Structure 1
Amino acid sequence: MKKLLLVFFIFLSGCQRHPQYYLYVYYAKTCPHCRSFIQVVIPELEAAYGNRMDIIQMDIDEESSLEAYAKTCHLLEDYVVNDQSGSVPFIVLDGYFALVGYQMGEDQMFLTMVQQALAGEELSVGNHEVYFFKEGQTFHEGG
């Protein structure tokens, strides 16, 4: 019986949990609002969601980030390419919403948006530019 239990625990220890949620943060190194989001909001998300949320930071000045940004925008409903396109921070809770812009001090507003989205509630977005994913569309593929 002990051997069976030991094999079971070894099996479980080898299993890796995949995150349930993916948050993509497109930022610019020179953007103070991006820096604030990364320094204030990301630690709060990590504390709240732990290994259930994978947070991917992408420097918008890198070519691979631009490709991912374009792919994300293609998956969003009613996304409009205009003067605000390419604005950072561009924050994407994959499968739920994308937020264009974030102002320092809006950490609680953003955390509430994440909680509402994950609970399936309507978002309180104020005057923010928010886009939602087309039904069945998501940026993160596989796990």
Structure 2
Amino acid sequence: MKKFLCVLLLLLSGCHSNPQYYLYVYYAKTCPVCQSFIKHVIPQLETEYGQTMEIIEMDIDEEASLDAYAKTCSLLENYYFDGDSGSVPFIVLDGYFAKVGYDIGESQLMIDAIKSAIAGKDLPSNITDIYYFQTGKTFH
């Protein structure tokens, strides 16, 4: 019986594994571009990565979100954050890159960028406003 319980616990602990990737989306409720990203990109990423990617949506108008935004910015190379406001959408694949802004209709470009980063490949050359994490720095 003791062996059975040990095996059961091992199996159950494997069901609740931590995600491998974290995607933060800083947005504003009144931002139609942000809403477009949330509506068109996030569902595709959820389908593609399932439980291996945790997607965290953070309203930039909330204090906790602004604090997380500032922390993320401090981990990026060559990114300046003045502390008063944030540019949205701000899309962050933790440990890989952050992108300021998004153009409606570039859903596939963003998905390709995220897939490329995870695969260890260069990002598509036509993606702009990208900032990379400092070596060894991540939010988690």
User: TM-score, normalised to structure 1's length?
Assistant: 0.88
Change (3 A) 1:139 1:125: farther
| Number of the residue aligned with 2:134 | 134
Distance 1:33 1:127 in 2: 16
1:66-89 deviation per Cα after TM superposition (whole angstroms, max 9, x unaligned) = 10000000000011348xx72110
| Number of the residue aligned with 1:20 | 20
| TM-superposed deviation, 1:118 | 0.5
| Number of the residue aligned with 1:58 | 58
- Residues 109 and 127 in structure 2, CA contact (< 8 A), matched pair in contact too: no
| Structure 2 residue identity aligned to 1:26 | Y
Distance 1:43 1:54 in 2: 12
Distance 2:123 2:45 in 1: 17
Aligned identity (percent) is: 58
| TM-superposed deviation, 1:5 | 5.4
| Structure 1 residue identity aligned to 2:8 | F
Q: Secondary structure at the match of 2:23?
A: strand
- Residues 70 and 81 in structure 2, CA contact (< 8 A), matched pair in contact too: no
In structure 2, the gaps of 5 or more residues are: none
1:101-130 deviation per Cα after TM superposition (whole angstroms, max 9, x unaligned) = 001111100000011101111111425100
| Number of the residue aligned with 1:105 | 105
The residue correspondences of 1:2-41 to structure 2 (distance < 5 A) are 4=3, 7-15=6-14, 16-41=16-41
| Structure 2 residue identity aligned to 1:123 | L
- Residues 113 and 125 in structure 1, CA contact (< 8 A), matched pair in contact too: no
Structure 1 ranges of 4+ moved more than 2 A: 2-7
User: TM-score, normalised to structure 2's length?
Assistant: 0.90
Distance 1:94 1:61 in 2: 21
Distance 1:35 1:81 in 2: 23
